[in-house]
Structure 1
Amino acid sequence: MSASLLLVAVVALIVAALCRRYGLSAPLILVVVGLAIGWIPGTPEVELEPELVLFLILPPLLYSAAQESSYQAIRANRRAIGLLAIGLPLFSTVVVGLVAYWVVPGLPLAAALVLGAVVAPPDAVSAQAIGRRVGLPRRIMTLLGGESLLNDATALTAFRVALAAAVGATASVWEGLSTFAVAAVGGLLIGLAVGYAVSWLRVWLTDPPVETAIGMIVPFGTYYVAEEVHASGVIAVVVAGLLLGQRSDRLRWATRLQDEAVRRSLDALLEGFVFLLIGLQLPFLLDGLSGQSAIQVTVDALVILVATILARFVWVYPATYLPRVFSTTIRDREQYPSWRAVFVVGWAGMRGVVSLAAAFAIPLTTDDGGPFPARAEILFLTFVVVVGTLLIQGTTLPWVIRKLDITADDAARDRLAFAAAQDRASRESERRLDEMNGGLADDDPLRHQVMMLRKWVKTQRNVAWEELGRGPEVIGESPTAAGNRMRMELLQLQRSVFIAERDAGRIGDEVLRTALRQLDFAEGQMNRETE
């Protein structure tokens, strides 16, 4: 199994690299590739292990998404995110569960609700990736990102309650609500405790590699501790990630750079791995349906898929507009969203690997020793919903966004805000340079350094205002861009000289690495200035 998982990771990285190179949607391509590989004769079956997803893949992905999220934006949109992350999964659980109960022959209501809870949480990884590529407005991206951070906790808690009822354990509505409350509060407290403790520890340390290593184990440790005390590991990881992301300004620059590089590399590996793993599950799931009517199972799957997609729209539109009908405060405080933006939020409801992991976590037997009702059918229906939403909604989402003309002017606002802030920062820097210069003698050599720093500060301010006036419609290279291009050529020239000196034996590898590191930082700073 370990060799098979390694092979899956290698293939996923290769496919994901090609997709990124040619601007394709990696999640969708990976699912299709997984489906194709699964039918190759002799291919070893790689069954999805729930523990692998819930303990090793989900925590770091949630943690990374939380760190890159804006706490201020989530707080400002907490009502809408709460309706999407808490209300919608519960609504989808009930709707899909009832539809499955009516459609699937012999499926008990408790088992149908298990299916509803399994397919309830959308996976916003692919939706956010598409949204970033086509330029969705930031508020929509905030809603999708905030939903993805918390909806797993709601759906997995509903899954526990429905599963307890399906296997024969007692589970009332009040018990379900108390379970969710305990899990949410426990996850919140554990996440806060871990976040503050790790933040203090990383600030106290003076070793960036160790600080980054500590950050790497935070999602796994936080999730494990929370689940051991029957709290929500998802909420704990999300809260810890949000807090540490908010306090990342206290870290050293080297730690922040390392954290970002490690996080992005791990995300690329895990996201590619899970989507390829989804596609590989089809042959295994079909084996469990032996003896079933292919027509009946296909019809059931299509009905459940349609119900899952429609349930999101049935919830999203009333949840968006009804609060504004009954509350003047909300009408005055929040901008009235267009039906087009709401439709995009509704269409961006692709399911992911969490749904499959929950389905595979369904036990084989109930408490009385009998087989779990329709477990094979639930697994297959979940697979169809996951792959169907990824391929149908995922492939059409860019077209829908363009057709509805959902564009964003966030970039222009960001440039204005950055230019204003840079102007204030530059003027404060100039004031401090005046103070430094006033305490120097006329012949002090440091006066030259002060003059150079003043020129650098002035350039920072001018670049910010210059870029503000150059929208995407402006053609041609700006003076600053031309200067950066020339600086880049000089850096490349210096890098080649250092390499040639090493190859000629005039400097050692240690000296070369030191020189390349300095040149790399200079190039990285230039790239950040031009982003």
Structure 2
Amino acid sequence: MSASLLAILVTSVLLAAVARRYDLSSLLFLVVAGLTVGLIPGADHISGIELDPDLVLYVLLPPLLWSAGLESSYVSLRENTRSIGLLAIGLPLATTAAVGFVAYRTVPELTLAAAFVLGAIVAPPDAVSASAVGRRLGLPRRTMTLLGGESLLNDATALTAYKVALAAAIGASTSLRAGLETFLVAALAGVLVGFALGKIVVFIRSRLDDPLAESAIGLVAPFLIYLVAEQVEGSGVLAVVVAALIAGQRHSTAGYAARLQDRAVWKAVQLVLESFAFLMIGLQLPAAVEGLKGTSAALIVTSALAVFATVIAVRLAWVYAFAYLPRLVPRIRSTEPPPVPGQVFVVSWAGMRGVVSLAAAFGVPLTTLSGQLFPGRPQLIFLTFVVVVGTLLLHGLTLPWLIRRLDGLGDQQRADLLAAAAAQDRAAQAAADRLDELLSDASTDVDARAADVLRAWNQRRRQTAWERIDDEGVESPMATFRELRLEMLAAERRAFLADRDLGRIDDEVLRAMLYGLDLEEAVLNRG
């Protein structure tokens, strides 16, 4: 088993690299690759590996949530609290109820409680792919905030509803009041644990002057926070998200070396974990159909279509209803801009499910507390697989096309460039004012030539920010400067390598010199 998982991990990263090389959606590419392997005769030792719920919930989920939380904006999330709350709390509960009733009517093997378990399992969308597509195609900032905020919080709602429904399905005594209490306790405990441990992590990292140690603490923090929250009956998801938002706010004031290292480390971790998760999704096909022997094909198709259509319809109806109905309230109508139809449709269509849903499905026990087989477990796993793969392929393949063709989505990339250029202009003016203050100070001895170089460097940074907005194909003076300086850096690098090969400098000296060149090249290539 461990060797097979290692093979899957290595294969997933290689496939993701190939997809990125040819500008393909790596997540969809991995899902299709997994499905293909599942259909190959004799590949049972790979495709027959059943997804371990603990692997997903305790190994994959915490770092992915942490990484997403670090990149989120607390200010933007706070400004869109109502909309994100409706998507992350209201929509999963509505999906749980609607899918539960439809599944109960269309799948004879499912009891009502078991049907609600299925509803909770397929309720939380995985917005990783949608967010990736949106960033690449320039979705407006508010749309990205809604999708990101939803993906951070909806797992907590759905997994709590899953625990309540599962308790009822296996025969544990429960009630609506007990379920509501469970939900509130999990949410409150998760927030408190996340806040406390997030502050502790920030305190520890702020007292260190060691970027390597800071990154190491950041790597283990999400696992510890998730585990502690779950041990006290709290929501591990909420705990990690809250702690990540706290850490992300502090990150902007950390040292430059820690920021550079964290960015590189978490991008690599995110790629590895996401690649592994989505390849595993595709590989679950044999496990999903294994228990359906003897079930009518017509019944399988009918129930699959009914559940799949319900998942999509509920999201469409919910998003449109709560995009426009709140505007009937005069206060909301006067303080919030009207929704843009194209943006509303993109949010309603970005409902791709992911590995958390499959992990929850495989986590359903084989038997109830009475010792009887769990009602309809094979059907539940199969329907979850259909929803996850179906939404990934349907939404994942159509979203890029829709985003390019819908009006009113705006050009977020250009808006970001304008905002960045204006901010750089203000920062450059502040830098120039500070330089003038230092030069006017009689106690500061600065050579006139050094001051001229600093003024020229500051002006170049100001001009470069505005020239990024210019039309493509126009060769600006700053672009010429960049190309020439990159060629000079390449020549320096070759000279250092030649000195190393001739034995004039050691490899350790070489690495130190190359690090300086790499930082300068990164500055020239940014944006």
TM-score higher than 0.5 here? yes
1:419 aligned to which of 413, 418, 421:
421
Report the more deviating stretch, 345-354 or 450-459: 450-459
Matched residue type, 1:323: P
Q: What residue is the counterpart of 1:400 in the other structure?
A: 402
Aligned to 1:382: 384
Shift of 1:36: 0.9
Distance 1:193 1:243 in 2: 10
Choose which of 302, 312, 332 in structure 2 pairs with 1:309: 312
| Contact preservation (8 Å) 1:502, 1:509 | yes
Kindly indicate whether the alpha-carbon contact (under 8 Å) linking 2:131 and 2:144 is maintained by their aligned counterparts in 1.
yes
Which residue of the other structure, out of 80, 102, 107, is the alignment partner of 2:83? 80
Q: CA deviation at 1:366?
A: 0.7
Q: Which residue of 1 aligns with 2:69?
A: 66
Q: Which residue of 1 aligns with 2:30?
A: 30
Aligned to 1:453: 454
Aligned amino acid, residue 383 of structure 2: L
Question: Given residue 434 of structure 2, which amino acid in structure 1 is its aligned partner?
Answer: R
- What residue number does 2:464 align with? 463
1:478 counterpart = 2:483: no
Q: State the match for 1:11 in structure 2.
A: 11
Is contact 2:463–2:478 with CA below 8 Å preserved after alignment? Answer: no
- Answer whether contact 1:67 1:244 (CA < 8 A) is retained: yes
Counterpart residue number, 2:503? 505
Give the match for residue 158 of structure 1: 161
Partners of 1:394 and 1:441 lie apart in 2 by: 63
Task: Report the AA paired with residue 511 of structure 1.
Answer: V
How far the C-alpha of 1:441 sits from its partner, in A, is 8.4
Partner of 1:200: 203
Q: Determine if contact 1:85/1:147 at 8 Å carries over to the other structure.
A: yes
2:349, 2:446 → 1: CA distance?
64
**Which is further off, 393-402 or 287-296?**
287-296
Q: Which amino acid aligns with 1:452?
A: V
| Counterparts of 2:516 and 2:348, CA distance in 1 | 48
Distance 1:402 1:427, change over 3 A: closer
| 1:159 partner amino acid | Y
User: Is the counterpart of residue 42 in structure 1 residue 45 in structure 2?
Assistant: no
Query: Residue deviations 1:209-230, cap 9 Å, x none?
Result: 0000000011101000000000
Are the counterparts in 2 of residues 138 and 408 from structure 1 also a CA contact under 8 Å? no
Q: Is 1:187 the equivalent of 2:194?
A: no
User: What do the CA deviations read for 1:37-91 (whole angstroms, capped 9, x no partner)?
Assistant: 1222332121100000000001111110111011111111111110000000000
Percentage of matched positions with identical amino acids: 55
| Deviation for aligned residue 1:434 | 2.0
Equivalent position of 2:92 in the other structure: 89
Q: Secondary structure at the match of 1:145?
A: helix
* Larger mean Cα displacement after TM superposition, 144-153 or 417-426: 417-426
* Structure 2 contact 34–280 (Cα < 8 Å) conserved: yes
Kept in 2: contact 1:136–1:406 (CA 8 A):
no
Separation (CA, whole Å) in 2 of partners of 1:445 and 1:243:
41
Does the 8 Å CA contact 2:342/2:409 hold for their aligned counterparts? no
Q: Matched residues in 2 for 1:23 and 1:358: separation?
A: 32
Task: Report the Cα distance in structure 2 between the residues aligned to 1:435 and 1:400, rounded to whole angstroms.
Answer: 53
- Partner letter of residue 105 of structure 2? W
2:106–2:302: 8 Å Cα contact kept in structure 1? no
Alignment of 1:508-519 (within 5 A): 508-519=506-517
Task: Give the count of matched residue pairs.
Answer: 524
SS of 1:250's partner is: coil
CA displacement, residues 95-152 of structure 1 (integer Å, 9 cap, x when unaligned): 0000001111132100000000000000001111111222221111111110000000
Mean Cα deviation higher: 496-505 or 397-406: 397-406
CA apart distance, 1:481? 1.2
Q: Deviations over 1:331-351 (max 9, x none)?
A: 112111133321211111011
Amino acid at match of 2:457: W
3-state SS, counterpart of residue 288 of structure 1: helix
Residue of structure 2 in register with 1:490 after alignment: 488
Deviations 1:194-214 (A, max 9, x none): 111111111110111000000
* Residue deviations 1:259-304 (CA, integer Å, cap 9, x gap): 0100000000011100000010111222222222233212211211
| Conservation of the 8 A alpha-carbon contact between 2:124 and 2:353 | yes
Distance 2:436 2:141 in 1: 40
Matches within 5 A, 1:114-193: 114-193=117-196
Question: How far apart in 2 are the matches of 1:304 and 1:426?
Answer: 56
Q: Which moved more, 1:261-270 or 1:447-456?
A: 447-456
More displaced stretch, 427-436 vs 43-52:
427-436
Aligned to 2:365: 363
2:284 is aligned to 281
| 1:141 partner amino acid | M
Q: Distance in 1 between matches of 2:409 and 2:18?
A: 28
In the other structure, the counterpart of 1:297 is: 300
CA 1:47–1:461: 2 relative to 1, 3 Å: same
Preserved CA contact (<8 Å) 1:153 1:235: yes
Mapped contact 1:437–1:447 kept (Cα < 8 A): no
Q: Following TM superposition, by how much is the alpha carbon of 1:15 offset from its aligned partner in structure 2, in angstroms?
A: 0.9
Counterparts of 2:464 and 2:299 in 1: how far apart (Å)?
65
1:342 to 341, 344, 351: 344
| Mapped partners of 2:474, 2:446: distance in 1 | 40
Q: Output the CA distance in 2 between the equivalents of 1:419 and 1:299.
A: 55
Return the alpha-carbon distance in structure 2 between the equivalents of residues 445 and 187 of structure 1.
55
Q: State the 1:421 CA deviation.
A: 2.4
Q: Measure, in 1, the Cα distance between the counterparts of 2:472 and 2:277.
A: 41
Is 2:99–2:310's contact at 8 Å kept on the other side of the alignment? yes
Q: Provide the TM-score with structure 1 as the length reference.
A: 0.96
Structure 2 unmatched runs, 5+ = none
Q: How many angstroms does 1:474 deviate by?
A: 4.8
CA contact (8 A) 1:137 1:406 kept: no
Code of the aligned partner of 2:501: D
Contact 2:139/2:411 (<8 A) preserved: no
Do the aligned partners of residues 445 and 332 (structure 1) sit closer, same or farther apart at CA in structure 2, a change above 3 Å counting? closer
- Partner amino acid for 2:369? D
1:429 is paired with a residue of what secondary structure?
helix
